[in-house]
Chain A
Amino acid sequence: MDAPRPTAPADPRQATPLRDAGEPLLSVRNLSVTFPTQHGPVRAVDSLDFDVHRGRTLGIVGESGSGKSVTSMAVLGLHTGAQVTGSITLDEQQLVGLTERELNRLRGRRMAMIFQDPLSSLHPYYTVGEQIAEHHRVHFRSGRAVARRRAVEMLAEVGIPEPQRRAGEYPHQFSGGMRQRVMIAMALACEPELLIADEPTTALDVTVQAQILELIARLQQDRGLAVVMITHDLGVVARVAHEVLVMYGGRAVEQAPVDTLFAAPAHPYTRGLLDSLPRLDDPDDAPLRAIPGSPPSLLTPAPGCAFAPRCSRAASAAASERLRCQTEPPVLSGPAGHASACHLPTYEGAPS
C-alpha cells in the first residue's frame, strides 16, 4: 500500500475550466421512455430536456422510480423493448434511432458509463487487464500488445498500485473501491468525451466514496470530460455537480445551477428533501421535517402533479389552487437558468 497522505483538495469544480460557452456536448430534448408491461404501458421518463457541456458535471437526483437511471440508459441506447422518443444528440449526432451497430461504435469510444455495482459489471472469468484491453482492440483495432499496454496505463492513471501486476488479476481479487477504479479505467480507456456515472459510490464506504469522487473530478479536469452524475445523495450532488436536475415520478421537477438549487429551491419536493435530511452541521433538537407518504408508482400516475399527494404547499393552498395541482400537470418553466415544474413555486424575491 502507498504511504498514507492527508490531502485537503480544493473544490474540484473551481479548477475546472469554464468551457461551456460553446455548444453542449450532450443535448437531450423532449426525451420520453415508455415500457410495455402486462399492466399497460409505463412511462418511466416523460418529456425531459437537458444539456451537458464539456468539462461540466450535471447531477441528476431522484429516488427509486424517479427515472434517473432509465434516462442514462436511454442516452447510451441500452433500452431494448422500450419506446424511446425525442432527441438525444452527442456532439450534434442524433442517437435516437441508431442501429445497434452504429451505437456500438459510439459506446465506450465517445460515451461511457459506470455503474453502482462494479462486481456485476465485470466479467468474473477474464482478468481486468484483458477486459480493459478488449475495449481498445475493438475500437482502435489495436494489437494485443498495444491494447495490453494501454490497459496497464489506464490502471495506473486511476490510481491502482502495481498496475502491471494487477492487470493480470481477476475482479474478485480487488476490493470494492479498487473495482470501481477498474470500471473507470475501462470506461475511459478509449477516451470518451461523455461519462455517465450511475450511483458510482452508493455501494462504497464513505472514505472510499471520497476517493472515487476525487478521482472522477481529476479525470474530468485532465480530459475535459462531460459528466452526468446520477445519485440519490444530495451531498454527492453538492460536492461534484455544476448543474442539477431533480427528477420525480419520471419528470424533471427542478433544474438549476447547483448553488441556486441548494440556496433557493423553488419546487416543494426539492425544498422538502433538503429539509428532511439529517445534517452533520445542524443542531439535532427539532424533529426532522419529513415528507409524508411514499414516492409515486409509475403504474398509476397521478392526473396532475406527481408530487401533489405529498405536497404541503398544495395541501395548504386555496381550494382552486389545490384542484389545479391535483388535475393539471405543471409545466417546467421559470426565470432564466432556474426552471421548476410547479403551480406554486417559490422563487427568491418573488414568493408566490
Chain B
Amino acid sequence: MTTATQPLLSVRDMTKVYPARRRGSAPVRAVDGISFDVAPGETLGLVGESGCGKSTTGRTIVRLLEPSSGSITYDGHDISHLSQRELKPLRREIQMVFQDPHSSLNPRQTVARIISDPLLVQGSSAADARRRASELMELVGLIPEQIDRFPHEFSGGQAQRIGIARALATGPRLVIADEPVSALDVSVQAQIVNLMERLQRELGLAYLFIAHDLSVVKRVCDRVAVMYLGRIVEIGAKERVYTAPAHPYTRALLSAVPLPDPAAERARERITLLGDPPSPAAPPPGCTFHPRCPKAQDKCRSEAPVLRIAAPGEARQVACHFPEAA
C-alpha cells in the first residue's frame, strides 16, 4: 500500500449495475469491480472520458447510490448498505462538490440558508449555523456581508465557492469533487484549484477529485486512477502515471491533451485512437479497450486483464496484458 496509516476510504470490488430500462435491453455495468483507497489528507484523482463510470463511482461513495456489490469502507466502517437514517452521521464526514455551481445551489435560498442547511440538518441552532456560514464564506474567499444574497447575484467562480463552503460546513474529512472546475471560465479555474489546495492544507481534507481534464488532475492529485468503461485500467502515484504511463489508454489519453504551446505541440508524438468509447451496455469481450488499442493481440480479445502491479518494486497497478515497459 502507498500509505502506512489506515485508509480513510477503502473501496473493494465495487460494482454499480443499472437495470435494463426496456425489455430486451441489457443492464448497464456503469462501475464494474473497482478497488482503491484514499488516505487521510490525500487527493486521489479519478480520470476518464464520458461514460467511464467516474461520476457513478463518486455518487456511490457518498451513498447517493447503493453499490450493487462490493464494499465501501469509511474510517473502518462498512457503509455499503447503510439505510438513510444510519447514513446521517456519515453525511458530516463525506461531502460533495458538484460541477455546475448554479444548478447545484437552490436559486430561491440565500447563501446563509444554503451554507447553514447541512448544519441545521445535523442539529445546530439557527444562530450558530448562521455564524458558522459567515465564517465559512470568509474561509472560501467570499465577502461575509453578502450572506443574504441569492446565488444568481454571484459569478460562476463565486458560486462554486459557495458550493465549497456548503460542503465544508459540517467539517468533513473526505470531499468528493465531481468536475469542480470544468464549468468555470479558464481564468477562474485556477482560483478554485488554488482554493481547494489551500483548504486541503488548512483542514487536512482528503479529496476524491473526479475530472476529465488531465492537466487539472495532475495539478491537484497525489495519486491518480484512470477509468475506462467502468474499470480502473491504471492507478498509481501521479509522477509515475503521468511521466511513464503503463496502459496504452493512459498513453493515448495523455498524448491527446492539447498543450498550450505551439512548439511543443509540433514536436510531440500523438497517438490517435480510432472510434469512440464503446457503450457500457455492450462492452467488448476480453479487454474492453481492445477495439481501440494500437497494441491489441488475440489474448486481449478473449481474456480480460486484471489490475496488477506494473513492475516489481512499485505500487502502481495496471490492467493490461502488454503494459508499456516502465
Contact = CB atoms under 8 A, between A and B. Distances in A.
A274 interface: yes
Interface string A170-191: 0000011110000000000000
A206 B49 contact: yes
The bracket for how many chain B residues form the interface is 35 or more
Contact of B272 (A7, A273, A290): A7
A280 B186 contact: no
Contacts of A7: 270-272
B155 interface: yes
A49 interface: no
B240 interface: no
A241 B262 CA distance: 9
Given A4-B294, A63-B187, A205-B277, A281 B264 contact: yes
B294 A5 contact: yes
Interface in B60-116: none
B259 A205 contact: no
A278 B258 contact: no
Contacts of B190: 276-278, 288-291
A239 interface: yes
B212 A280 contact: no
Contacts of B216: 278
A7 B277 CA distance: 18
Interface in B265-279: 265-266, 269-277
A102 interface: no
Interface string A207-222: 1111101100000000
A233 interface: yes
Given A207-B252, A208-B276, A277 B260 contact: yes
Interface string A63-75: 1100000000000
Interface string B140-161: 0000000000000001111000
B169 to A, nearest CB: 24
B276 A278 contact: no
B242 interface: yes
A278 to B, nearest CB: 4
B185 A279 contact: no
Given A11-B265, A235-B259, A277 B215 contact: yes
B197 interface: yes
A6 interface: yes
A287 B55 CA distance: 27
Among A14, A210, A278: residue with most chain B CB under 10 A: A278
A234 B291 contact: no
Contacts of B121: none
Contacts of B307: none
Contact of A234 (B155, B157, B186, B194): B186
Interface string A262-297: 110000010011101111110010011111101100
B261 A6 contact: no
Contacts of B242: 280
> Which of B193, B272, B277, B291 lies at the interface centre, i.e. has the most chain A CB atoms within 10 A of its CB?
B272
Interface in B245-266: 252-254, 256-266
A232 interface: yes
Interface string A252-264: 0000001100110
Nearest to A213: B258
A25 to B, nearest CB: 23
A239 B185 contact: no
Contacts of B197: 287
Contacts of A287: 194, 197
A284 B190 CA distance: 13
Contacts of B265: 11, 235, 238-239
Contacts of B257: 206, 235, 280
Nearest to A203: B50
Interface SS of B by simple majority = helix
B241 to A, nearest CB: 12
A62 to B, nearest CB: 9
A9 interface: yes
Given A233-B258, A239-B258, A258-B262, A288 B188 contact: no
A205 B270 contact: no
A2 interface: yes
Contact of B191 (A278, A281, A290): A290
A176 B276 CA distance: 8
A175 to B, nearest CB: 4
A145 B266 CA distance: 43
A178 B276 contact: yes
Contacts of B215: 277-280
A272 B215 CA distance: 17
B262 A9 contact: no
Interface string B273-302: 111110000000000000111101000000
Candidate in A206, A276, A284, A292 with the most chain B CB atoms within 10 angstroms: A206
8 contacts: A4-B273, A64-B185, A207-B253, A207-B256, A262-B261, A276-B186, A281-B261, A290-B187
Ordered nearest first, which 10 A-B pairs have the shortest CB separation? A235-B258, A6-B294, A290-B190, A278-B219, A205-B49, A276-B190, A294-B155, A234-B260, A288-B190, A210-B256
Interface of A: 1-2, 4-9, 11, 13-14, 63-64, 175-178, 205-211, 213-214, 232-239, 241, 258-259, 262-263, 269, 272-274, 276-281, 284, 287-292, 294-295, 310
Given A2-B275, A206-B214, A284-B218, 9 more contacts: A211-B274, A262-B260, A272-B187, A276-B189, A278-B219, A279-B259, A280-B215, A291-B191, A294-B185
